[in-house]
Amino acid sequence: MNSLAVRIVRIVGLVAPTMGMLFLLAAPLRAQDAPALFKSKCAACHGPDGSGNVPMGKTLGVTDLKADAVQKQTDAQLTDSITNGKGAKMPAYKGKLTDDQIKGLVGFIRDLAKK
């Protein structure tokens, strides 16, 4: 192998594992951001515990996110509700949140039922 090819193989050999580690580290960070994101985007209406037992939630008649009706929805259905909104009450977050952030919120909503 010529020296350029050897250098390229060495660089790829060093960069690929590093990128893999960054990817592994980034995934948990997104999951950890979900509670903060929920607090900033959702808790005003859904309450910090998802119950909707806050003044705005009571006014809007929001559904308790821990309720069976919500928890029985598929991840795709929850993702759709967050992405596109729901009726006149639930705003759409398409273009405001990334797909990863929405996925994190869906996971957070699932975790609410476990508390």
Q: Which domains does the chain have, with CATH numbers?
A: 33-112 (1.10.760.10)
Average pLDDT over residues 46-57: 97
Contact assessment for residue 105 and residue 112, using Cβ atoms and an 8 Å cutoff: no
Write out the chain in H/E/C secondary structure: CCHHHHHHHHHHHHHHHHHHHHHHHHHHHHHHHHHHHHHHHCHHHHCCCCCCCCHHHHHHCCCCCCCHHHHCCCHHHHHHHHHHCECCCECCCECCECHHHHHHHHHHHHHHCCC
Average pLDDT over residues 59-76: 96
pLDDT classification of 5: cutoffs 50, 70, 90: low
Res. 96: pLDDT tops 70: yes
Q: What is the pLDDT of residue 115?
A: 79
pTM, two decimals, is: 0.72
